[in-house]
Structure 1
Amino acid sequence: MVKGSNVSLAALSESVGSVIVSLGWVSPAGDGDADVSVLLLDENGKVRGDADFYFYNNPVAADGSVQLLGKTPTAEGNEDRISFDLTAVPAGIERVVVAASRYNGARFGELEDLRLSLADASGESLLRFAIDDVDSVSAVIFGELYRRGTDWKFRAVGQGYDSGLAGLATDFGVDIQDDSEEAGEPVASTEAFPSEHLSSAPTPVPSAEPLPAPAVAEASVPAPRAGEAGTTPKKPAARPRTARKKVTLPRLAKKSLAENESWKEARLFPVSVLRTDRDREARATSVLLSVMGQVPEFGRRLTAAFGAPAGRMETFTEVALPHGDTPRRPDGVIRVERAGKLWTALVETKTNGNALKSDQVQAYVDIAARRGYEAVITLSNDVALEGSPLVDVKIDGRRKHKVALWHLSWAEVAHQAQMLIQHEGVGNAAHAWLLRELLHYLQHENSGCHGFQNMGPAWVPVRNGIDDETLCQGDPRALEVVESWERLIRQVCLRLGGELGQKVLPVQRAKRGDDPGARRNRLADQLCLDGRLQAELRIDGSPGVLAISADLRTGKLRTSIEIAAQEQGYPLSWAKRLIKRLSEAPADLHIETLVEGEGIGPRGTLDKLRPEPADLLPKNNGGPITGFRLTLSKGMGSSRGNAETGFIRSVDDAIHRFYTGVVVHLDRPTPRRTVAKAA
């Protein structure tokens, strides 16, 4: 689409009751990002109140019409996905605006390839809109969904704002108010833009840049609303919190009443009776689906990204469905009912190292297509990669009804449960207890639900080939190892993010439009040349990108982070402050000074630098210091599995040790998402 154009969703697909909108961009520097937001507007082009504005502090609509799903790794970087159930949008809402904003003075000109895409309920992409000419703005309206009679249409807007999220929000009737303003003090900023300080304003602040009317006449982006002349604005009344109180598990467990350690706590989902892989698959499926059906937040979290509506969910196991002469029995069925309509997904489960079977999944896709079901969900310990499907399934293009094929890793299921019960909270204590029991089951060694745990048969030959310098470029085994490495890094991000309650995402420094397969082939050739596997992780709240390198020649794992020099102060004070911050870090931590124009400057280990921080300063009037690089090294596991001496366990431990021993002690970056009231 081009800027200003519009299209009817019904003309593109028959499954547009639920749609997923994805916003994406590429950061050449690898550290740029933006926040998405959604505004529901009435016939006057204004929000009705707090509940019509969705952003990082208010991500989910109570009626299920809007849900911010967070970031999804792609070949081009990351995409922010938003799920819309258009059948649940209130009748008084005429337009739905989709926008994004940057923070801390950043501008969209620092990002590349700004784009919006929209997919239907089956996951099929319907449209794409690329945005240009937004270099100097800090907020952008990507597009809007709007009603025309009983149909929904989409308009490509691409309008920028110089005044950021604050200006965008006030233009649509949202007033930004903070605690200091209520006390009669000058307004400086509001940290984290709290949702309880957003209110529908009788006299909103005008934006510095009004939106021009679009090229079509069906609807228009409203101009700023100015206050009435000669009237004194009234102070908005105190507004209730938009988020419900959440229940989370206590950080410290209560003291046990058991007489000794031999007394085992009774569990809702026992694992001692599991003997065979079939037992594990049946138990894991039943446990997961039952908790999904009983804990709405959890069930919705796992199915929203698959196009499922927000509604009453029921789950089933061992359902017999006709298929030729022999009926098929998928491991499970998920069914969601909303407004009299049903959304159905068949579930195929594998545990331990068992791989999904193409013929089984193909049969379920065919059954779903014939019966009008919406999706087939596969669930295993493996991690799906973009452009590299776990199973090959043929879609019959002659069928009018299309079925979406999705994959979940057990590691992702455990991550979502951990995020809810330890960080975000659920509706009541019973739900928190159910999720705790589910998480205990998934993490038990006998459940078979341990996530990615095998680097594959190519691991040992590739490692040996690098050691004796016989591995050649183009060897398909090197590509298998690169794919396994990418799966491992994605799983490490899930585990670390679940522990921290923060977003942890792999950094993909890919060129615009780069094909995932071509990118992995380049990495495989590079592995053959230098014998190293490398990855970068971005952790919310960390001062830089965490890098990890596995050197298969030396058998060493290196984890590192680069932190920028402060804008104020003297180099000696920077060095002293850094060493003081790292007082509890490992003594073998290696610190390098980064010098402009010279690359690496002075270096040393922490134990030697503690008495003399000045040793980090360049001698003989060297160039200015641009930052510091901190590195830890440890031995690499050799075996391909997840045992104590395995490669997978050593990577997980190395990243965990580096974050908890080094990164947590560093200065946090300038607090993000700080919005000051517009003048």
Structure 2
Amino acid sequence: MYELIKGANVGLAALSESVDSVIVSLDWTSPTGEGDADVSVLLLDADGKVRSDADFYFYNNPVAPDGSVQLLGKTPTGGGNQDRISFDLTAIPDGVDRIVVAASRYDGAHFGELDDLRMTLADGSGEHLLRFAIEEAGPMSAFLFGEFYRRGGEWKLRAVGQGYESGLAGLATDFGVDIDDGTDDGTDGAAAAEVLEETADGERTQATAPARADDRGQPATGEGVPAPRQPEEAAAPRKPSARPRTARKKVTLPKAARKSLAENDSWKQARLFPVSALKSDRDREMRATSVLLSVMTQIPEFGRRLTAAFGAPAGRMETFTEVSLPHGDNPRRPDGVIRVERAGKLWTALVEAKTNGNPLRAEQVQAYMDLAARRGYEAVITLSNDVALEGSPLVDVRIDGRRKHKVALRHLSWAEVAHQAQLLIRHEGVGNMTHAWLLQELLHYLQHENSGCHGFQNMGSAWVPVRNGIDDETLCQGDPRALEVVESWERLIRQVCLRLGGELGQKVLPVQRSRRGTDPGARRMQGADRLCREGRLQAELRMEGTPGVLAITADLRTGRLRTSLEIPALEHGYPLTGAKRLVRRLAEAPADLHIETLVDGGAGGPRSTLERLRPEPADLLPKNGARITGFRLSLFKGMGGSRGNAESGFIRSVDEAVHRFYATIVAALDRPAPRRAPAAGRSAAE
């Protein structure tokens, strides 16, 4: 990776062939684990000013209409956060000469309190190209990390490393943005304070006189930052609503629940969406559909997330339940209807929902598809605990090719609904506290055992016969029941990705090792043959910001689950130094963690448990002096016997194994290694 120093610049074309779209990541850690900052982007003209206030992108204006700039949000990284920004450089308007990438803190905090400040750049393929590390930021509440600029028809990147004592408001004002700090709109001081304190954590930004400094605390100079804008005495006042507000308006709920005021634990908190009265599957389907559709209408961010992938436009949404639509002598009654209006045009979808283990019925979905086609609706959305597979629809329907109007059949799992709700209320934030509370109530409802919306929870009727066939070695290749188990396994892995990603606030995706363009059905047939031969189910998960992939193996012969991760060895330094550092980073990991040394040539290297390696890290070094390429970390767990999601179930055991591995191993690797004072007499080689 290319290392950039302060003031240096580099042409993007010299780093990669895929730099039309790039992603900039700003990283920091905090000794307390609580320090945070917010990124911002300014598009500047040749005079070093924004063309209008719309060229200022921050938490209250995160996306450019043309897609040229998009703030992607935060990803937790153990002791800190990573904030990412996506740039489509081909879409940057011609009038933009420079793009400034900055970050700011709030409530009197400054960047000198954070550690490991750095900016990294990745190309369109995701490959990391360069890094700029900030040695010392000083008492600055806003900081300029870098800037893109045009030279000779190509884009270059300069490492700036300069700070502002005046925070986000001062930084924005310096570049020509007319900001609204919440106190100049005709309200008194108390009212303004109430507006700023609307967020869950009380964050606020105060505008003060801009003062700039570099990362050593000295006044900033150089072409990286223009001179402060002088006040214009005769400038006409603008309407407050036209100014960007630097007061945060995104709300996330606090992670720690407030102490209950109940006299004892048997008291149950009053809920907006009660579940105690649900007695039948029909009641559960009606309640779940009505609750979901009403929340989608009230919280535009949430409704948009669930419908955008189905082709719905961004517009005014209305939802309806238990509607009656004419259909010959017997009117049809879908569970719900979604209608979105944009520019006088309507997009409409029928909704068919199922809860518990109830399957979608092909004849019912077919009838809704025909009805939607005749009425000019755009889609039929099925909603159930099942998880759709790539290239394999849950319900086979017949599409009449003679009809000009085509209707899309889309599926949404309850696990995906819960995943999107978690992302918004716990990581990305919504518009106000009421919206956050509504999403929390929805999530509580979906996760309640009586709601029937628990997600994929049954490996199917083929699970027990296949396990028995593997035990007594009677399962033959080509057995259709093996294919059913492989499909259920893929559904389970997709759901595990959704649950883990919702908790972490980052993307967790299954990895497919087959060649691009390979038919998914053929890939599953290969997995079924492997299951018959080896008795094992295998999957890999890629977690954003994590080195390597998390591998999961369910060995049906031994009844054990194995979760593992391969990490690379240090490129430089002594092998013993790398072994000791690894053991120190795993100081809080389970003692039964297995560590295997990977060496050149693929031959098996030393392996042992963490408990035995803590006093003797040198046991990880190959006796023959082979070059170490990495280490494989593995945890083992007994596999549940039943096919369902009961306490002893297989699905629950897979969920627990993945979450335990992430919490105890992956999270430990993300944290900086604990520092250890050198012992007297220790050699430099160690």
| Number of the residue aligned with 2:555 | 551
Structure 1 residues 108 and 233, CA gap change in structure 2 (3 angstroms):
closer
Structure 1 residues 182 and 589, CA gap change in structure 2 (3 angstroms):
closer
Structure-2 separation of matches of 1:64 and 1:494: 26
Residues 196 and 242 of structure 1 are in contact (CA less than 8 Å); yes or no, is this contact kept in structure 2? no
Structure-2 separation of matches of 1:361 and 1:434: 30
Per-residue Cα deviation, 1:262-296 (whole angstroms, up to 9, x for no partner): 11100000000000000000000000000000011
Identify which of 477, 495, 498 aligns with 1:494.
498
Per-residue Cα deviation, 1:67-124 (whole angstroms, up to 9, x for no partner): 9999xxxxxxxxxxx9xxxxxx9xx999xxxxxxxx967667899xxxxxxxxxxxxx
Partner SS state of residue 181, structure 1: strand
Identify which of 606, 613, 628 aligns with 2:631.
628
Q: Does 1:403 align with 2:446?
A: no
Amino acid at match of 1:180: G
Structure-1 separation of matches of 2:126 and 2:343: 44
| Number of the residue aligned with 1:560 | 564
Q: Does 1:181 align with 2:184?
A: no
Identity across the alignment (%): 75
Structure 1 residues 468 and 460, CA gap change in structure 2 (3 angstroms):
same
Amino acid at match of 1:397: G
TM-score by length of 2: 0.68
| Number of the residue aligned with 2:8 | none
Residues 637 and 646 of structure 1 are in contact (CA less than 8 Å); yes or no, is this contact kept in structure 2? yes
Structure-1 separation of matches of 2:434 and 2:225: 46
Partner SS state of residue 400, structure 2: coil
Structure 1 residues 344 and 199, CA gap change in structure 2 (3 angstroms):
farther
Partner SS state of residue 161, structure 2: helix
Q: Which runs of 5+ in 2 are unaligned?
A: 1-20, 26-40, 74-85, 96-118, 131-145, 166-170, 178-222, 231-242, 674-686
Over the aligned positions, Cα root-mean-square deviation in angstroms equals 4.1
Structure-2 separation of matches of 1:340 and 1:236: 46
| Number of the residue aligned with 1:650 | 653
The 5 A counterparts of 1:375-524 are 375-524=379-528
Structure-1 separation of matches of 2:405 and 2:604: 59
Structure 1 residues 108 and 347, CA gap change in structure 2 (3 angstroms):
closer
The 5 A counterparts of 1:607-622 are 607-620=611-624, 622=625
Structure-1 separation of matches of 2:150 and 2:429: 28
| Number of the residue aligned with 1:335 | 339
Structure 1 residues 66 and 585, CA gap change in structure 2 (3 angstroms):
closer
The 5 A counterparts of 1:14-413 are 51=54, 60=63, 180-182=161-163, 234-235=226-227, 245-413=249-417
TM-score by length of 1: 0.69
Structure 1 residues 65 and 384, CA gap change in structure 2 (3 angstroms):
farther
Residues 47 and 174 of structure 1 are in contact (CA less than 8 Å); yes or no, is this contact kept in structure 2? no
Q: CA deviation at 1:667?
A: 4.3
Q: Which runs of 5+ in 1 are unaligned?
A: 1-32, 71-81, 83-88, 95-102, 112-135, 139-164, 185-194, 202-230, 671-679
Identify which of 645, 667, 672 aligns with 1:664.
667
Partner SS state of residue 606, structure 2: strand
Q: CA deviation at 1:175?
A: 10
Structure-1 separation of matches of 2:121 and 2:63: 27
| Number of the residue aligned with 1:25 | none
Identify which of 633, 636, 641 aligns with 1:638.
641
Partner SS state of residue 474, structure 2: coil
Amino acid at match of 1:640: R
Partner SS state of residue 487, structure 1: helix
Structure 1 residues 241 and 55, CA gap change in structure 2 (3 angstroms):
closer
Structure-1 separation of matches of 2:174 and 2:152: 13
Partner SS state of residue 449, structure 2: coil
Structure 1 residues 241 and 613, CA gap change in structure 2 (3 angstroms):
farther
The 5 A counterparts of 1:531-542 are 531-542=535-546
Partner SS state of residue 430, structure 2: coil
Partner SS state of residue 390, structure 2: coil
| Number of the residue aligned with 1:158 | none
Structure-1 separation of matches of 2:371 and 2:228: 56
Q: CA deviation at 1:570?
A: 1.4
Residues 345 and 376 of structure 1 are in contact (CA less than 8 Å); yes or no, is this contact kept in structure 2? yes
Q: CA deviation at 1:618?
A: 1.2
Q: CA deviation at 1:305?
A: 1.0
Amino acid at match of 2:161: S
Structure-2 separation of matches of 1:522 and 1:549: 16
Residues 358 and 393 of structure 1 are in contact (CA less than 8 Å); yes or no, is this contact kept in structure 2? yes
Structure-2 separation of matches of 1:442 and 1:345: 22
Per-residue Cα deviation, 1:375-409 (whole angstroms, up to 9, x for no partner): 11100000001111000111111111111111100
Structure-2 separation of matches of 1:536 and 1:502: 16
Amino acid at match of 1:409: S
Residues 121 and 129 of structure 2 are in contact (CA less than 8 Å); yes or no, is this contact kept in structure 1? no
Q: CA deviation at 1:251?
A: 1.1
Amino acid at match of 2:277: V
Partner SS state of residue 469, structure 1: coil
Structure-2 separation of matches of 1:332 and 1:557: 41
Q: CA deviation at 1:470?
A: 1.2
Per-residue Cα deviation, 1:20-63 (whole angstroms, up to 9, x for no partner): xxxxxxxxxxxxx97599x9x9xx9x996685799999764579
Q: CA deviation at 1:512?
A: 2.1
Structure 1 residues 444 and 235, CA gap change in structure 2 (3 angstroms):
same
Per-residue Cα deviation, 1:109-147 (whole angstroms, up to 9, x for no partner): 899xxxxxxxxxxxxxxxxxxxxxxxx999xxxxxxxxx
Structure-2 separation of matches of 1:455 and 1:500: 26
Structure-2 separation of matches of 1:588 and 1:137: 37
Structure 1 residues 346 and 524, CA gap change in structure 2 (3 angstroms):
same
- Larger Rg computed on CA atoms: 2
Structure 1 residues 667 and 170, CA gap change in structure 2 (3 angstroms):
farther
Structure 1 residues 181 and 355, CA gap change in structure 2 (3 angstroms):
same
Structure-1 separation of matches of 2:535 and 2:508: 26
Q: CA deviation at 1:181?
A: 3.0
Q: Greater RCO between the two (CA within 8 Å, min separation 6)?
A: 1
Residues 336 and 352 of structure 2 are in contact (CA less than 8 Å); yes or no, is this contact kept in structure 1? yes
Partner SS state of residue 631, structure 1: strand
Residues 575 and 628 of structure 2 are in contact (CA less than 8 Å); yes or no, is this contact kept in structure 1? yes
Partner SS state of residue 314, structure 1: strand
Q: CA deviation at 1:502?
A: 1.3
Structure 1 residues 107 and 180, CA gap change in structure 2 (3 angstroms):
closer
Structure-1 separation of matches of 2:441 and 2:319: 18
Structure-2 separation of matches of 1:68 and 1:559: 33
Structure 1 residues 181 and 450, CA gap change in structure 2 (3 angstroms):
same
